[in-house]
Amino acid sequence: MNDASHPSKPAFPQPVSGTVVPRFGDVATFMRMPLFRDPADVEIGMVGVPWDGGTTNRPGARHGPRQMRDLSTMMRRVHHVTGVAPYELAKCGDLGDAPVNPASLDDSLERIETFFTKIHEAGAVPLSAGGDHLITLPIMRAIRKGLPPLGMVHFDAHSDTWDTYFGGYKYTHGTPFRRAVEEGLADPKRMVQIGVRGSMYSADEKDWAESVGIRIVHIEEFFRLGPDAVMAEARQIVGDGPVYVSFDVDGLDPVYAPGTGTPEIGGFSTAEAQRMIRALDGLDLVGGDVVEVAPPFDPSGNTALVGATMMFEILCALAPAVHRRKNRMRRL
Amino acid sequence: MNDASHPSKPAFPQPVSGTVVPRFGDVATFMRMPLFRDPADVEIGMVGVPWDGGTTNRPGARHGPRQMRDLSTMMRRVHHVTGVAPYELAKCGDLGDAPVNPASLDDSLERIETFFTKIHEAGAVPLSAGGDHLITLPIMRAIRKGLPPLGMVHFDAHSDTWDTYFGGYKYTHGTPFRRAVEEGLADPKRMVQIGVRGSMYSADEKDWAESVGIRIVHIEEFFRLGPDAVMAEARQIVGDGPVYVSFDVDGLDPVYAPGTGTPEIGGFSTAEAQRMIRALDGLDLVGGDVVEVAPPFDPSGNTALVGATMMFEILCALAPAVHRRKNRMRRL
Amino acid sequence: MNDASHPSKPAFPQPVSGTVVPRFGDVATFMRMPLFRDPADVEIGMVGVPWDGGTTNRPGARHGPRQMRDLSTMMRRVHHVTGVAPYELAKCGDLGDAPVNPASLDDSLERIETFFTKIHEAGAVPLSAGGDHLITLPIMRAIRKGLPPLGMVHFDAHSDTWDTYFGGYKYTHGTPFRRAVEEGLADPKRMVQIGVRGSMYSADEKDWAESVGIRIVHIEEFFRLGPDAVMAEARQIVGDGPVYVSFDVDGLDPVYAPGTGTPEIGGFSTAEAQRMIRALDGLDLVGGDVVEVAPPFDPSGNTALVGATMMFEILCALAPAVHRRKNRMRRL
Amino acid sequence: MNDASHPSKPAFPQPVSGTVVPRFGDVATFMRMPLFRDPADVEIGMVGVPWDGGTTNRPGARHGPRQMRDLSTMMRRVHHVTGVAPYELAKCGDLGDAPVNPASLDDSLERIETFFTKIHEAGAVPLSAGGDHLITLPIMRAIRKGLPPLGMVHFDAHSDTWDTYFGGYKYTHGTPFRRAVEEGLADPKRMVQIGVRGSMYSADEKDWAESVGIRIVHIEEFFRLGPDAVMAEARQIVGDGPVYVSFDVDGLDPVYAPGTGTPEIGGFSTAEAQRMIRALDGLDLVGGDVVEVAPPFDPSGNTALVGATMMFEILCALAPAVHRRKNRMRRL
Amino acid sequence: MNDASHPSKPAFPQPVSGTVVPRFGDVATFMRMPLFRDPADVEIGMVGVPWDGGTTNRPGARHGPRQMRDLSTMMRRVHHVTGVAPYELAKCGDLGDAPVNPASLDDSLERIETFFTKIHEAGAVPLSAGGDHLITLPIMRAIRKGLPPLGMVHFDAHSDTWDTYFGGYKYTHGTPFRRAVEEGLADPKRMVQIGVRGSMYSADEKDWAESVGIRIVHIEEFFRLGPDAVMAEARQIVGDGPVYVSFDVDGLDPVYAPGTGTPEIGGFSTAEAQRMIRALDGLDLVGGDVVEVAPPFDPSGNTALVGATMMFEILCALAPAVHRRKNRMRRL
Amino acid sequence: MNDASHPSKPAFPQPVSGTVVPRFGDVATFMRMPLFRDPADVEIGMVGVPWDGGTTNRPGARHGPRQMRDLSTMMRRVHHVTGVAPYELAKCGDLGDAPVNPASLDDSLERIETFFTKIHEAGAVPLSAGGDHLITLPIMRAIRKGLPPLGMVHFDAHSDTWDTYFGGYKYTHGTPFRRAVEEGLADPKRMVQIGVRGSMYSADEKDWAESVGIRIVHIEEFFRLGPDAVMAEARQIVGDGPVYVSFDVDGLDPVYAPGTGTPEIGGFSTAEAQRMIRALDGLDLVGGDVVEVAPPFDPSGNTALVGATMMFEILCALAPAVHRRKNRMRRL
C-alpha cells in the first residue's frame, strides 16, 4: 500500500490507536474515526440510524448505534486475515446519525431517505448501523438512484418479505425486502438470503420470496453445505453488478447476539459469519448495514461488539470496492 | 362486608391464594383473577395496553403489562391499612390486552379507544397497565363519554403537556394532557400533577399547563409540604366530580422504578406514593392507570412489582367508588 | 393435511398469530393456545410443573413454566423443516400448572402424579415444562399406567441415576431414572441418554446405569458420531414401543442455557438438539418434557426461549404420534 | 479497652486489613476472620445456614451465606458511631456452614438444630447468615436450652406467624414464630416485630400474633413514630431477659434489598435499620441472624452488602453483651 | 438574561434539543454540547478522566466518562428550580478526555495534571467526570496555580485522607486530600466533607483530618441537621475564597449509585444531594468533579444518570460563578 | 490407583463431596480443597492472583480468583474421560492468594514473584487463577529458577508479545511473553500460541513473535486443522522439556467467556479447549494458569465456571506429571 500510485493516502484519517489512547477513552465514534457532518468529506461514511419504529416484537434497536460506536473502539486498523487496511484505501469517517422521528413511521422513512440521498449525491458510500431492519428500505431507495436494481447478500433468520402486518400495514421490519423488490430497488434474481429459519405461520409462507426468484439458504442447508459453498453460490447469484450487503444480527445464533428483537435459536456462528463476509471480497459493493442490535436485551454488550466487528469486516470488503472504483475512474 | 345488603358477594371471583397455589404457579393474570373476554362480565376490568409507540426516549413499556401480571401475583386480598377488600365490593377480572398496532401510532390510538369504549359501554370501569403515557389519551376519550370533563390526579416527573415534537408531531408520551385539555376530556381546573421535576428546555416551559389552570406540585414543593398536605389540596382541586387517576412510575425516584423510559432522579418514594393513593379514598374515581413500566430497563423486576402494587392500591380506592355508585343506583 | 380424512380439523384451536396480536401482547399461555382446566378437552395438554424441590444445587426452576409460557409466544404454527402443523393433527391446549407444595417433597410428588393421572385417564398426552428433573418421575408414574415399561430418549449432561444424596435420601433431581428403572416405569434396555459429561465423584460412577442396560452416549462420543448416527442408534434402542422424551436443558452447552441449576460446560448446541428431536419422527411418543429452565440464572431470557422452542420441536414429533394412534383407533 | 482488666485481648484474632490485603483478595470468610471448625474456639461464632427449603415464593437464599461472606470483606474493625471494637471484646470467628439437606425439610431442621446445639453447648453465641427465615426456628430450639423463653426484636415485612400452608403444612418461612411461641422458645409478651406491611389474605390475619401478645409495629406506625421511639418501646418490651435479634432483609424497602424472596414495597431504609440496631445496645443479646438474602435476585450484590453490614451492626451490639456476661462470670 | 449587557450570548453553543434529535441519537458528548479540542475555545470545559488506577477495591471508574456522556443526553437547558440557564452564562463545551496511562500511576498523574494545566492556562474552568477520586489531586495541582489554597466542598462516604496503603504507598483513591493538604493545594480550614460513614480500621482514624481542621459532617450528623443547616455551615467554612466542589457518588446511598467502587450503605439521597449542590449558589467556584462512577457494577445505568445530573447541578452553580468573574473583569 | 506403590495416598486430602455438603455450602476454596498457608504442605498449590494492574482495557480480573473459587465447587473428583483422579496422584490444596498492590504495578510484580518463589522453593507446583495475563510473567520468573527456559502451550486470542504501550511502558497484559522471551524465561522455539485473531494495528504486527520462532496458530488455521492436529504439532514443539500451560479465557469465543477484559469474537469453544488440554497428557508440565476472568462483565457467572473447569482440566494433566516426577525421584 506504500506505493507511489496511492499518493493521497497520508491525507486519509486513521483510527486512534489503543496503545496511545486506551480503548475506553474519549468520545465514542465509529471505529475511533473523526466525525464529519458533510458527506462530501468522506468516501465511506459510517452512519447510525437509531430507529426501531418498524419493530413488531421487542424494541430497543434505536439504542444500537450508540453502543456499537462504544464497542467499535475495540477494532484496530488492519484485517488480520486478508491484510486489508481499509483506512488506507478510502477516506472513512463517522457521519453521525440519520435524523429520525420516533413519533412517525412515515416521516422517519422520509428523513432517513433524505439523509442517505445526500450521502449518495456527495459520492460517498454508506456503512450503516441500525436500527431495525426496516431502515434498509429507505437506505436502498437513496443509494440505488442512478443504478440498476441492486443485488443483495442478506444474512438473517427471517426473509423479511412478508406482505402486511396488523391488518394491511405494509411497513414493518418484516416487510422491507418485499417492498424493495416491488419498488425495483433490488433485483430478486440477484438476491440471496442466508440463515433463514424458524417456525412459520403457514406452509406456503416461503412461496412469495422464492416465486420471485430470491435464493433462500435455510439454516439447515447452510449447515449441510458450509459457508464456503454457500458463498460461492452467493457470489454467482449477485454477479458483477452493484451489490448491497445487509447483516441482521439475528441471523447469528442468539448466544452470539442475544440483544436483538426477534431471536431465533439455531443460527450460524460469528466465525462462520466472518468467513462469509470475507468471501464478499471482489464484489462491487455499494453499501452495507448491520441491523437489529438492541442493547437493552443484552446486558453484557457482546451483541454490540459482534455488530461492530461485523461492520469492520464489511468495511474491509467495501473499502477495496471503493478503491477499485476510484482507480477505474482515474484511468478513464 | 358480610351483611345481607351485599347478597351478590359470593358470586364475585376472588384471587387464588398463595397458600394454596404458590405465587409463581400457573398462568399469570392481573392479581390472579379470572380472565374474561366480555367486559359485561365485570364491574372493574383490569386491562393491559402493551404499546410504547409514543415513547421519545427508551422504549420497552410494551412489555409492561405482561410483567405486571407476573408480579401482581404477589398481591393478596385485603388492604392492610384501610381494610378494604376490593374483590368483595366489585366484580373484578382481567380483560386481557387492548389491541395495538406497533406499526402505526394513529391506528393504535383508534384501536385502544375502541376497546375501552366497549368497556365503558358495558358499564365497566377500567384499571389499566401501560404502555407509555400516551395510552391515557385514548382511554380518556373512551371513558369520559357521557360525563363532564374529568378531574385528574396525576403522579409524574413530567407534566406531559408539551405541544409538539420532532417538528409538529402532536402525539407522543410527552403531549397527552395538552391534547386531553384541548379536546375537553379533562378539566384543567380540576387537574393536579404531583412530582414534576427535571431540567427544562426553556424557562417558560411550565407556562402553558399553569396558564390553563393545572396545579403542578413540583417535587421540591412536595418535599416541603409532605404527602398529606399535598393530597388534601388535591382532593379540594378535583372535588366531587368524576376523577381519573394516572400513575406514571417515573414520578417515583428511579431507584424504585429504574425500568422506565425517561427516568428523572430525585423523586418521591413508594411509601409516599402509597400514602397519597390511599388519600384518594372517597373520590368519585372512574378509572385509573399505571404507566411507563419498561421491563427491559430493570433486570430485577422491582419496577413491575411497584407497578402491580400501585394497581392494587388504586383498586382499593376504585372498588369502593364503584360500590358507592352501585348503591346509589340501587337506591334510586 | 387438508384432506377429507381429517374432518375434525377446523374444530381444533390454533395459536394467535403475531401478525394479528403482537407477540408481547395478552396473557401468556403455552404457544398462545387456549387455557383449558379439564384434560378431557385436549388430546395434547401442555402443563407447567413449577417445582424445584429436588434441586441439589442452584434453585429457580420453579419459575420455569411461567417464563417458558412468556417466551413461547415466539413460536408459530408450522415447522419450517418438516412441515408438520401440530395444531391441525391434534387438539392442543394449555392445561395450567400441576399443583405443587414447596414445603414438602413427598406431597409434591403425590400431587404431581395425581394431576398427570387425571390427564392420562382423560386420554390426553402431556407435554410438560419443568421444574427440576425429579418431576419426570411422578409424570412417568402417572402416564405409564396400562402400558409396558416405557422407552426413553433422554437429553442431559447427567445420567440422573444416582442412588441417594445427603445420607440416604432417595429423591432428588439426581435420582429420578434410578427410581424409574427400579419401579419398572422405564425399561433400561430401551433407554438412551445423550450428552452425559462432567467430572465424577468416583471412577465407577457410571456403572449402575450401564450395568442395567442404559445406553449412555457421552458428549465426546456424541461429537465423534454426530447427531444423525446417535439418533439412528437411539431409534433402534427404543424401537416400536411407547417412548417418553425428556429434555434437560443442561444437556446443551451452558451458553445456550445459562439459566439452569447444574450447568456443565462443553455440551451440544441448540441446532444439534433440534436435529436430534426432529429424528424422533415416527416413534410412538407418549409424552415429553423440557426441564431445568431456571430463569433467575439467565437475565437474558434466552434459556426460556430455548426451552419453549424445544417444546415446539417435541410437539411436532408428538402430534403426529397422537394423530397416528387416533387413526389406528378409528380404523379398528 | 487497653486496660489491664482485659489481658486476654491480644490473643483474639482480628480481621485482615484492607490496607494490607485488598478487599477482593483471598478466601472469603465472614468479616475476614479466621475459620474455626470447633465452636469451643470462639465466643461468637459466625455461621452460614445455606438453606431455603422453607421458601414459598422465590428461592435462592441458600446462596446467601457465601455472597455475604464475600461482601463482608468490606467491613472494618471499629464501629464509626459507637466506637465499639467487637473483636477486642469477644473472640470471634467464622464457624463455616451448618449442614443442611436440600432434599428434606425435616432432616434439615434437625441438622441445623444439632449444629447450633453444639455451639450452644460449647458456650459460644451464634450470629447467623441465612438462608430463609425458617432457619431461625431450629437455631432458637438450640440456643434457648437452659434459658427462659427468649425475647425477640424482629425486623421484617411479614409477621411470619401463619399457621399452615398448602393444606396443613406447618413449616415454611411464613410460620417460624408461630411455632416458636407454641414451643415456648420465645415469649410472645417479649416479642416485637417492626416493619410489617403488605396486603393480606383476610382481615383477621393479624389476630393471632396480637392475640398472644406480640407487639407489631406496622410500617405506617413506624413512619409516624420514627426509629428512636419505636426502639425505646422495643427495649421496654424485651426488658432485661435474654433477647434474640432477627433481621429479615425484606423488612427493608426492596430498593435496599432486591435480592430477597418475598419483596414488599414501602419499607424502612438501611439508615433507619442501622439506627435501630444500634439501639439494641445494652440488651442481653444471646444471638442474632440476618436472613432472606437471595443473591440470584440481585445482580448488583448490594443486598449481600446490606446483609453483611447488618451482621456487623448486630455484632457490635452482641460483642458487648458477651463481654458483659464474661465480666459478670469473672466477678462471681 | 436577555439584556444588552450580555451581547456575546447568541454565540454560545447550546445543547441539541431532545424534541429535535431524540435523546438516544448521535455521538454522545457531555450534555449534547460540541466537542472542542482547544481549551481556549471554552470558558467551562467538561472533561472525562477515564482512570481508576488509584482504586483499592472494585475497579471500573475508567468507564465512567463514556457512560456519563451517554446518559447526560437526558439533561436539558434550564434548571427547573433556580432558573439558571448555564449555557447562556458561559461558553461551555466537551473537551474530550484527559490522557491517562493504565500501566502507570505516576505517569497518569502527570498526564492529567498537564492536561488540566493547559485548561487552566487557557483561562477555562474544568468540570470533570471521573475516574476514581485520586484524579482530583492532579486536577487541583493544575488549577490552583496562581491561587491561594482552595476551599473544598466534598461529598463522600469517606474522608480520603489516609496516609498510605499496602506498605507505604502514598497515592490511592483513599489518600488524595491528605496529599492536597500537605501540598498546600487545599486549605484544611476551608474544607468540609459531608456524608462520611462506615466502619473504621481504628478508633483514631478520624484524627488526622480533624486535627488539621477539616470539618467532617458524618452522615448521622447530616441526618440530624438536615441539608440546609449543613450547607449553611459549609458556606461559612469555605467563605469568599476560591472553592472546588468534589462529588464522590459513594456519598449517596448505594441504591442511588450501586455502580461505584467502595459502596457504603446508609448514605444521603439524590434529592438531598441536589438540594445541597443548589446551596453552592454564590460561592466562588473554580472547578468541580463527579467521581467514582463505575458502570460495570450497575447494569441499570442509573449511577451514570445520577452522575450526569450532578454534573448539570454543579454546572448550574459554576456557570454563574464564571459569569460573575467575567463581569468583574469587564468592569475593571 | 489402589496399588501398593502409592502408599501415601490415603493421606492426601480429597474434595468435599456435593452429595454430603451441597455445592453452595461453606467457605469457598479452590475445588473444595483444604486451605494451606505453607506451600511445603502441598505438591500442587492452587493460588489466586487477584490483580489486574496490567489491564489496558476493561478491568475486573482482580475479582477472578474469588469467583473461580466459588464456581469451582461444581468440580468433582475424577475426570470422566481420562479417568485421572488428580487428588490421588498428588497432594493438592488451596494456598490462598498471592499478595498484590493495587497501587503499584512494579511492587505487585515483585510481590507475586516472591510468593511463587516460596512455592517453587518448597518443591510445590502452582496452578494459578488470575488476574490479568501479566501475572504469568512473575510466576514464570519464580518457577523456572533452576530450569532451562520453559516451553509453553498458550491459549489466547492475542499473542501478548507487544513491546510497549502508552509511550514506552513495557509491562501490560499485552507484553508478558515478549518480556519472558527477552529474559530467557521461555524458549520461543518451544512456544505455541493457539487461537490468535482480531484486527491489527499494523500489518507487520505478527513479525516479532514469529521472527523469534514462536508458532502462532491463528484461529482460522485452528478451524481448518482441528484441535487434534493442532495439539499433535504443539506436543512436538514443546517436546520433552519442562512446559508451562497458560489459558487466557479470551481465547474462547466470548459467548463462553463474556467476562473478560479484551473479548474478540470468533474463538474456539469450551469443548475444543477441553479436547486440547486433555492432549497435554504426558508432557512434563511444571505449572499452569487460567487468566483474564473478569466477573464484573459476566453477570451469569458462566465465565468463572468455565475458568474453574479449565483449572480442573489442567490439574488432570498436571497431577500425573507431578506423580511421574515423584516416581522418577523415588527410583533414583
- Is the omega angle on the peptide bond into residue E131 within 30 degrees of 0, that is, cis? yes
Chain A interface, Cβ < 8 Å to B: 52-56, 58-60, 62-63, 101-105, 107, 165-167, 169, 171-172, 296-297, 299
- The reported pLDDT for the residue numbered B7 is 39
Q: Given this model, what pLDDT does residue E205 score? A: 65
pLDDT (0 to 100) of residue E2 = 32
Per-run averaged pLDDT (10 residues), chain B, 332 residues: 38 86 94 96 98 96 98 94 96 97 96 98 98 98 97 97 92 96 98 95 78 96 98 98 98 98 97 98 98 95 97 98 93 78
The pLDDT-based confidence of F97 (bands split at 50, 70, 90) is very high
pLDDT at residue A7, rounded to an integer? 40
User: Minimal Cα distance from C222: which residue of F?
Assistant: F271
E85 and B220 within 8 Å at the Cβ level: the answer is no
CB spacing of C26 vs B96 below 8 angstroms:
yes
Distance CA F151, CA F233 (A): 13
CA atoms within 13 A on the CB side of A13: 17
Mutate: best of B32, B70, B80, B306, partner D, most D CBs <10 A: B80
pLDDT tens, residue by residue, E133-178: 999 999 999 999 999 999 999 999 999 999 999 889 999 999 999 9
Q: Chains near E, with 3+ CB pairs < 8 A?
A: A, B, D, F
What mean pLDDT is predicted for residues C6-26? 77
pLDDT in tens, D153-167: 999 999 999 999 988
Give the pLDDT confidence score for residue D3 in this predicted structure: 34
Q: What is the pLDDT of residues B267-320, one digit of tens each?
A: 999 999 999 999 999 999 999 999 999 999 998 999 999 999 999 999 999 999
CA distance F227 to B79: 64
Per-residue pLDDT at D9 exceeds 70: no
pLDDT given for residue D17 in this prediction = 85
Name which residue leads in pLDDT, D204 or E99: E99
Q: Is there a contact between B103 and A169 if contact means CB atoms under 8 Å apart?
A: yes
pLDDT value, residue F331: 81
State the average pLDDT over residues C319-331. Answer: 93
Distance CA F329, CA F332 (A): 5
Instruction: Grade residue A202 by pLDDT with cuts at 50, 70 and 90.
Output: confident
What are the backbone angles phi and psi of residue E331, rounded to the nearest 5°? -70, -25
Q: Which helix (H) or strand (E) holds F182?
A: helix F176-182
Q: What are the strands of the beta sheet with C92-97, ordered from one edge?
A: C92-97, C44-49, C125-130, C284-291, C242-248, C150-155, C186-196, C215-218
Span between the terminal Cα atoms of chain E, in Å = 21
Give the number of beta-carbon pairs within 8 Å between A and E. Answer: 67
In whole angstroms, what is the distance from residue A206 CA to residue A213 CA?
Answer: 11
Q: With 0-12 CB in 10 A as exposed, 13-18 as middle and 19+ as buried, what is A164?
A: middle
C-alpha dihedral over A24, A28, A29, A32, to 10 degrees? Answer: -20
Contacts of F22 in chain D (CB under 8 A): 50, 62, 100, 102
Q: Which residue of B has its CA nearest to E307?
A: B265
Higher pLDDT, E204 or D304: D304
- Closest D-chain CA to C111: D166
**C63 contacts B48? CB cut-off 8 A:** no
Query: What is the overall mean pLDDT for chain D?
Result: 94
**What residues of F are in contact with residue A299 (Cβ under 8 Å)?**
299
ipTM of this complex: 0.94
Interface with chain D: mutation pick from E224, E265, E306, highest number of D CBs within 10 Å = E265
Name subunits touching C (3+ CB pairs < 8 A).
A, B, D, F
pLDDT of residue B200: 85
Q: Which residues of D touch F (CB under 8 A)?
A: 21-22, 24-29, 35, 48, 50, 62-63, 65-66, 69-70, 94, 96-97, 99-100, 102, 299
Select from C73, C300, C305, C306 the residue whose CB has the most chain A CBs within 10 Å, as the one to mutate to test that interface: C300
| Of the partner residues B22, B78, B270, the one whose CB lies closest to the CB of residue D203 | B78
Residue E50's pLDDT is what? 98
Q: Taking residues D80-94, what's their average pLDDT?
A: 96
Task: Give the nearest chain A residue to B100 (CA atoms).
Answer: A166
Nearest to D264 by CA among D310, D218, D213: D218
Using the predicted structure, report yes or no on whether residue A1 has a pLDDT greater than 70. no
Give the 3-state secondary structure of residue D288.
strand
% of chain A residues with pLDDT over 70 = 96
Q: Can you read off the three cell numbers belonging to residue A6? A: 496511492
User: In C, what residues contact F, Cβ < 8 A?
Assistant: 56-58, 162, 164-167, 197-203, 205, 218-220, 223, 253-255, 258, 262-267, 297-299
Mean pLDDT (whole number) for E64-74: 97
pLDDT at F76 over 60: yes
Report the pLDDT value the prediction gives residue C196, as an integer from 0 to 100: 97
Give the global pTM.
Answer: 0.96
User: Mutate which of A161, A164, A199 to disrupt the C interface (most C C-beta within 10 Å)?
Assistant: A199
Q: Indicate the SS3 state at residue C296.
A: helix
| Distance, CA of A15 to CA of A28 (rounded, Å) | 11
Give the A:C interface size as CB pairs under 8 Å.
82
Distance separating the N- and C-terminal Cα atoms of chain D: 21
State the pLDDT at residue C91. Answer: 97
- pLDDT tens-digit profile of A213-246? 999 999 999 999 999 999 999 999 999 999 999 9
Strand, helix or coil for residue B92: strand
pLDDT digits over E172-201, tens only?
999 999 999 999 999 999 999 999 999 888
CB distance C9 to C88 below 8 Å = yes
The pLDDT score that the predictor gives to residue C5 is: 38
Residues of C in contact with A255 (CB under 8 A): 255-256, 302
Give the sign of the dihedral formed by CA B155, CA B158, CA B164, CA B166.
negative
- Please indicate whether, in this complex, the C-beta atoms of D165 and C103 are within 8 angstroms of each other: yes
Report the pLDDT value the prediction gives residue C8, as an integer from 0 to 100: 43
DSSP one-letter code for C158: S
Searching chain B, which residue's CA lies closest to the CA of residue D164?
B19
Contacts of F102 in chain E (CB under 8 A): 55-56, 166, 172
Does B255 sit within 8 Å of E255, measured CB to CB? yes
Task: Kindly report, residue by residue over D34-43, the tens digit of the pLDDT.
Answer: 999 999 999 9
Number of A/B CB contacts below 8 angstroms equals 64
- Torsion angles phi and psi, residue A97, rounded to 5: -105, 145
What average pLDDT does range F28-33 have in this prediction? 97
Grid cell of C270 as nine digits: 441448540
Q: Do E265 and D309 touch (CB under 8 A)?
A: yes
Q: How confident is the model at residue E19 (pLDDT cuts 50, 70, 90)?
A: confident
- Which of chain E's residues have a Cβ under 8 Å away from the Cβ of A27? 27-29, 35, 66, 69, 94, 96-97
Distance from CA of D141 to the nearest CA of E (A): 33
Look at residue D35 and give its three-state secondary structure.
strand
Instruction: Report how far residue F322's alpha carbon sits from residue F243's, in angstroms, rounded to the nearest whole number.
Output: 12
Instruction: Indicate whether C297 pLDDT > 90.
Output: yes
Residues of A in contact with C24 (CB under 8 A): 57-58
Residues of B within 8 A of D265 (CB-CB) are 256, 270-271, 274, 305-306, 309
